[in-house]
Amino acid sequence: MKFGILISEGPYTHQASDTAYHFVKSALEAGHEVPRVFFYHDGVNVGTRLSVPPQDERNIQQQWSALAKDHGVDLVICIAAAQRRGMLDANEAERQGKDADNIAEGFRISGLGQLIEMGIETDRLMTFGD
């Protein structure tokens, strides 16, 4: 089965990103496909490279980045939601005249078209968060 994943809640205020991570990891281990995870609303905060959780806590951003690297999962951050929350990749930072970017390795910014495409190309679209 091919799953598409939508995450719409932030990483340390809600369990959605953790639950989605464990679901995706288990699905991949069971032989299912997860070609893309789309981060929307506050879920985009999962993809910041500037979060620094305490050393004795899990680092959900690093977990997602490693999963993407190991399994080729496309981690897409909604551009509109990201810009509202001060998240920019290098190209968008330059375009907006900002001096820094903050998107973590393995994540990329794109539009809602990627969400629509994921819904069309997968067997199931799983939503984590409100």
Catalytic machinery residues: 78
Helix (H, G, I), strand (E, B) or coil at 123: coil
Helix (H, G, I), strand (E, B) or coil at 116: helix
Burial class (CB in 10 A: 0-12, 13-18, 19+), 2: middle
Helices (H), the chain: 16-29, 60-71, 79-84, 90-95, 112-121
In this structure, how many other beta carbons lie within 10 angstroms of the beta carbon of residue 97?
A: 6
Of 129, 112, 119, 111, which Cα lies nearest the Cα of 23? Answer: 129
33-39 and 2-7 strand pairing: parallel
